[in-house]
């Protein structure tokens, strides 16, 4: 205790200087929007760099799992290609102008460098940003399903609103029917999400697969999400439907960014109808 008192007395002027400098810095950042924005950008740059270093170490221990996911994705793509080739095998055919066919979605690769999954409102950070063509409201997926939606971007990084966030709402449907609902999360188990707004006419049973519905301008239709674990049907409607995710949201590495190339056109058209 005496040593602490002696230390404070000996360096009291230096410690007072540090305290005053800190207070002055806080006042400047809070009162000046320019300095505040510079501070936030610098903080994002520093934390992004730290996340990159930490992720480089942890990524080494997930190489086997990532390679397995890549293998599964390659197998799935090969099966789709094979099915398409078999579908169009004909004795004779006519080649038409391919300009009438157009690409709707563009996919780019990114990596999760920070992953939260234990809070009620979780976010992830990816190592791509505005200079890589990313913007808010782009979908994030991997080979096992959806991860979330991009919320904010900086030059080199982006924050993703995880499906493990109580503010997340994703349009989904039953794979074996055209009944749609909304994927939400109750903030409890990171392996289990919920579906609401399923119509009472829908035939729901445990083990049914849930996929993206395609009614939004973010995700394509048919991306796998999970299977129904259990549900409660009361007062002539579905009160709760629990979904076991295909993804292990606690161990996510490589992801794909989904960009809807027709999003602006779709939204403009839909808004024009609403405004009539």
User: Looking at residue 254, what is its pLDDT?
Assistant: 87
Asked, for residue 93, whether it belongs to a domain, the answer is: no
Tell me, yes or no, whether 133 lies in a domain. Answer: no
| Token reading at 90 | 């004909």
Q: Does residue 211 lie within any of the structural domains?
A: yes
Phi, psi of 45 (to 5 degrees): -65, -45
Which of 37, 60, 83 finishes a domain?
A: 60
Stretch among 15-29, 166-180, 182-196, 231-245 having the lowest mean pLDDT: 15-29
Tell me whether residue 13 is in a domain.
Answer: yes
Instruction: Please state at what angle helix 63-87 crosses helix 33-60, rounded to 10 degrees.
Output: 90
CA distance 238 to 198: 7
- Helix, strand, or coil here: 1? coil
Question: For the chain, what percent of residues have pLDDT higher than 70?
Answer: 72
- Counting Cα atoms < 13 Å in the Cβ hemisphere of 159 gives 12
Total domains present in the chain: 2
User: What is the predicted pLDDT for the residue at 13?
Assistant: 77
207 found inside a domain: yes
Predicted TM-score (pTM) of the model is 0.68
What pLDDT score does 70 carry? 72
Calpha distance 138→191 (Å, rounded): 23
pLDDT in tens, 118-169: 999 999 999 999 999 999 999 999 989 999 999 999 999 999 999 999 999 9
* Number of neighbours of residue 170 by Cβ within 10 angstroms: 23
Out of 45, 60, 75, a domain closes at: 60
Phi, psi of 225 (to 5 degrees): -125, -55
Could you tell me the CATH number of the domain that includes residue 192? 2.40.10.350
Residue 28 lies in a domain: yes
pLDDT digits (tens, 9 = 90+) for 31-50: 665 555 555 555 556 666 66
Residue 124 lies in a domain: no
Q: Give the angle 118-124-129 at the CA atoms, nearest 5°.
A: 170
Q: Evaluate whether residue 54 is within a structural domain.
A: yes
Domain that residue 241 falls in = 170-245
């Amino acid at each position: 205790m005496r040593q602490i008192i002696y230390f404070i007395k000996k360096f009291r002027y230096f410690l007072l200087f540090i305290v005053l400098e800190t207070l002055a810095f806080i006042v400047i950042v809070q009162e000046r929007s320019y300095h505040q924005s510079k501070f936030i950008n610098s903080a994002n740059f520093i934390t992004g760099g730290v996340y990159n270093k930490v992720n480089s170490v942890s990524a080494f221990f997930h190489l086997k799992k990532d390679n397995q996911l890549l293998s599964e994705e390659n197998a799935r793509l090969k099966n789709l290609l094979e099915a398409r080739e078999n579908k169009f095998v004909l004795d004779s055919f006519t080649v038409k102008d391919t300009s009438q066919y157009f690409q709707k979605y563009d996919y780019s690769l990114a990596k999760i460098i920070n992953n939260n999954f234990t809070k009620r409102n979780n976010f992830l950070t990816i190592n791509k940003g505005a200079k890589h063509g990313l913007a808010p409201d782009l979908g994030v997926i991997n080979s096992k399903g959806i991860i979330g939606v991009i919320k904010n971007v900086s030059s080199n990084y982006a924050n993703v609103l995880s499906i493990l966030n109580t503010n997340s709402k994703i349009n989904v449907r039953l794979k074996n029917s055209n009944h749609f609902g909304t994927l939400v999360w109750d903030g409890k188990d990171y392996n289990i999400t919920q579906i609401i707004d399923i119509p009472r006419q829908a035939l729901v049973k445990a083990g049914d697969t849930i996929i993206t519905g395609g009614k939004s301008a973010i995700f394509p239709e048919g991306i796998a999400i999970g299977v129904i674990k259990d549900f409660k049907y009361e007062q002539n409607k579905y009160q709760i439907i629990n979904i076991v995710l295909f993804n292990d949201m606690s161990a996510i590495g490589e992801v794909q960014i989904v960009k809807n190339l027709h999003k602006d056109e779709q939204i403009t058209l839909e808004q024009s109808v609403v405004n009539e």
